[in-house]
Structure 1
Amino acid sequence: MGENSLEARGETFFLNLRFMLIVTVFVGNAIEPLLGSMSGLHNLYLWIFSFHMPLFVLVTGYFARKSLSGSAGRKVLLQIGLQYLIFQSLYSALDISLFRVNNIHHSFFAPYLLLWFLASHACWRLLMLGMGRWSKTAQIIFAITAGVAVGYLQLDGVWFSISRTFVYLPYFVIGYHFSFGAFAKLYQQHARIAAAAVSVLLFLLLGTLGSDLPLGWLYGSMTYMQLGAQEWYAGLYRLAMYGLQFAASLAFLGWVPYRVSRMTDWGRRTLYVFLLHGFIVRLAAVSGLYTYINSPAGAGVLLLGAVLVTVLLAGPGVKRLLHPVVEPSVAWMITLQRAALRRTL
């Protein structure tokens, strides 16, 4: 199989995975208000959070390899920064005026809920550039060490998204160096079936044994102090969580198809789902919708609705309409940069 063919297969696989993950992101956020009243949804939530953020970061690292440095890398960083400013402002303004949500840090230094991913994405890229001359092994060792060490900081992990940046750094590094060829050789039909079976088993185990697991460990946004783990060996808990998330992630990969389909096309526009779905979840909460969901049938309708809206937001029509906001042009920023550089020379 040619290198170009293998690269195309890898891109198809990761686009399919990206769409499947954004579905779990939407579903996870949609069912969160019901976790205390429906144990089945709580089990689903635990299962989703055991793999979806690590895999999303891994996929992001995989696609970052084509645009990490040079002019392409600078353009991506500028666009991430502009996206962050736009959506941090929009979500905060709506929180204050319409949603009236309490206990949210309204500050550009504290990413608004889902926007932590933008802040951390920019940091992961900068960290990878800084580690550029290191070996792969050294990069992974540093990333895991930093992910464990950041938990010992005596601060609120939400500021600057510092906790999640380092907690999920290992997955970005792994994704950046991911060999799809080696993976495809390993994940043949029987291996994929076995992996999918393990994924189901993990769902059942988390449902029966994970009820006492503090969700903060799965979020990655809290330091050990915030999680109530004051022991000097609290870092071992983080290592154990890495083990769980790595196993859950490998198992979930067994579900991902290799073939091109509509899912592949939707996977190209997951950014739109990611940045926009928070508005829909917030609107559903303030509308009182959740007061009517008190049965398995109602929960099923909610899950189906989350999937359908994900497909809608990933459609080409949404991109045509909202492209200037979701993927704002940074050409003017690059022009200003060049003009400023000329003045200094």
Structure 2
Amino acid sequence: MFHAAPTPRRELPQAREAAGADRTARAAQPSGVPERTPDPAPKAGRDAFFDNAKYLAIVLVAMGHVWEPLTDGSRSAEALYMTVYAFHMPAFIIISGYFSRSFDMRKDRLQRLVTGVAVPYILFETAYAFFKRWADDDPGHPISLLDPWFLTWFLVALFIWRLTTPLWKVVRWPLPLALAIAVLASVSPDIGDDLDLQRVLQFMPFFVLGLCLRPEHFKMVQRRAVRIASLPVFACALLMAYWAAPRMSSAWFYHRDSAQELGTTWWIGSVMTMALFGCSIVLVACFFAWVPTRPMWFTVLGAGTLYGYLLHGFLAKGSRFWGWFDDYAWLHTPAGEIAVTLIAGAIVTALCTPPVRKAFRFAMEPTMAWAFRKDATDTARERVSL
């Protein structure tokens, strides 16, 4: 048989339309914490469950930050603070890992990693440094991209975790390996503070767990039986935290220090790392059990959680720099604690809204087409579409 003579390569109109539709669908897919994360499977629209979970988690993050200065004089506030810190960031990280399952070294995904994670890190790390110089009257505070300050550690961690995603896909036992790395980090005080590697390594098992999860796993925790069982579990967690509040430092939940830096031995640090991971997973499952699966009034805000996360940091730190919790004693009363909790929730909710996202998109989701080189395939595709 003779092969037919080659014909000029031109896309049919239907093919061009299908390719355009595919690109549009990919751009509209849901994400983990930042909305630029590729979806592991094609879906029509966003998944309300994950947007609801992200919004509720960011509200808990903001509330936790206003509870922190209240914990010194209130054992109940300390117990609530420790309980929430046991699961709110692990929940975020698990969702981030879940929506990173399709990440590879493809050009467009690497570009989105740079524009959606690296660039916001550089901009907000610089902005936080200038803010501290002004608000805290600290003109000598350095601008160091190697030493994340306050909230920006998460962007560094997400960048590193996502780059390692292809490696976790090829190893046989990813979660046990990630746990082993976390335990080793927790007993290694010489790691230092560069890029907040202690947090990157100690929180990494949650990201790897998210990579290992499938949709059916989230369906399991949404069952009515799990929802009912989560109530006594949360009650026990609060009672345990109330007992532990005067006996245990809440710094264990930050995962930013080694066991030796927290004043204990290496073997206790190893046990604590594994125990806290187990407790966090149980509480995250209880949290997910109560997240609504249907669209709610706040579902649309789930797409802007990274905005709320980074922007509320200025007020969270400013309240300390300006001495609000020291100057107003009523904030340390039960009514004051409830008031600041509601205010924190309202502020972070406002920061997740579409108008705020539109105003700060230049910093959070820059296109930066000028910064990336076009390959021959892109150039040829554009030429054919003309």
TM-score by length of 1: 0.88
Residue matched to 1:298: 336
Larger C-alpha radius of gyration, 1 or 2?
2
Q: How many angstroms apart in 1 are the aligned matches of 2:192 and 2:252?
A: 12
Residue matched to 2:118: 81
Cα gap change, 1:325/1:120 in structure 2, threshold over 3 Å: closer, same or farther? same
Q: How many angstroms apart in 2 are the aligned matches of 1:266 and 1:109?
A: 31
How far is 1:257 from its partner? Answer: 1.0
What are the equivalent positions in structure 2 for 1:165-314 lying under 5 Å apart?
165-185=200-220, 187-232=222-267, 234-290=269-325, 291-292=327-328, 293-314=331-352
Question: Is the 2:87–2:281 Cα contact (8 Å) retained in structure 1?
Answer: yes
* Percentage of identical aligned residues: 26
Cα gap change, 1:13/1:7 in structure 2, threshold over 3 Å: closer, same or farther? farther
Residue matched to 2:84: 48
Which of 43, 56, 61 is residue 20 of structure 1 equivalent to?
56
How far is 1:10 from its partner? Answer: 8.7
Q: How many angstroms apart in 2 are the aligned matches of 1:189 and 1:217?
A: 32
Residue matched to 1:140: 175
Question: Is the 1:67–1:76 Cα contact (8 Å) retained in structure 2?
Answer: no
Cα deviation 1:53-104 (Å, max 9, x = unaligned): 1111101111222444412320232121111110110101111122236997
How far is 1:314 from its partner? Answer: 0.8
Cα gap change, 1:253/1:169 in structure 2, threshold over 3 Å: closer, same or farther? same
Query: For 1:110, what is the secondary structure of its paired residue?
Result: coil
Q: Which amino acid aligns with 1:62?
A: Y
TM-score by length of 2: 0.79
Cα gap change, 1:8/1:99 in structure 2, threshold over 3 Å: closer, same or farther? farther
How far is 1:149 from its partner? Answer: 0.6
If each structure's helix is expressed as a fraction of its own residues, which one has the higher value? 1
Residue matched to 2:371: 333
Residue matched to 2:5: none
Residue matched to 1:343: none
Structure 2 unpaired stretches of 5+? 1-39, 377-386
Q: Which amino acid aligns with 2:207?
A: F
Structure 1 unpaired stretches of 5+? 340-345
How far is 1:107 from its partner? Answer: 2.1
Q: How many angstroms apart in 2 are the aligned matches of 1:33 and 1:231?
A: 29
Root-mean-square deviation over aligned CA pairs: 2.7
Question: Is the 2:75–2:245 Cα contact (8 Å) retained in structure 1?
Answer: no
Cα gap change, 1:100/1:204 in structure 2, threshold over 3 Å: closer, same or farther? farther
How far is 1:325 from its partner? Answer: 1.6
1:98 partnered with 2:135: yes
Question: Is the 2:133–2:140 Cα contact (8 Å) retained in structure 1?
Answer: no
Q: How many angstroms apart in 2 are the aligned matches of 1:38 and 1:167?
A: 29
Cα gap change, 1:199/1:301 in structure 2, threshold over 3 Å: closer, same or farther? same
How far is 1:119 from its partner? Answer: 0.4
Higher relative contact order (CA 8 A, sep 6+): 1
Q: How many angstroms apart in 1 are the aligned matches of 2:246 and 2:139?
A: 26
Q: Which amino acid aligns with 1:26?
A: A
Between stretches 119-128 and 233-242, larger displacement belongs to 233-242
Question: Is the 1:157–1:222 Cα contact (8 Å) retained in structure 2?
Answer: no
Q: How many angstroms apart in 2 are the aligned matches of 1:122 and 1:261?
A: 30
Residue matched to 1:159: 194
Q: How many angstroms apart in 1 are the aligned matches of 2:68 and 2:46?
A: 33
Question: Is the 1:156–1:226 Cα contact (8 Å) retained in structure 2?
Answer: no
Query: For 2:372, what is the secondary structure of its paired residue?
Result: helix
Q: How many angstroms apart in 2 are the aligned matches of 1:113 and 1:294?
A: 24
Q: How many angstroms apart in 1 are the aligned matches of 2:267 and 2:322?
A: 45
1:117 partnered with 2:154: yes
Q: How many angstroms apart in 1 are the aligned matches of 2:126 and 2:84?
A: 28
Q: How many angstroms apart in 2 are the aligned matches of 1:259 and 1:211?
A: 40
1:35 partnered with 2:76: no
How far is 1:153 from its partner? Answer: 1.9
Question: Is the 1:140–1:170 Cα contact (8 Å) retained in structure 2?
Answer: yes
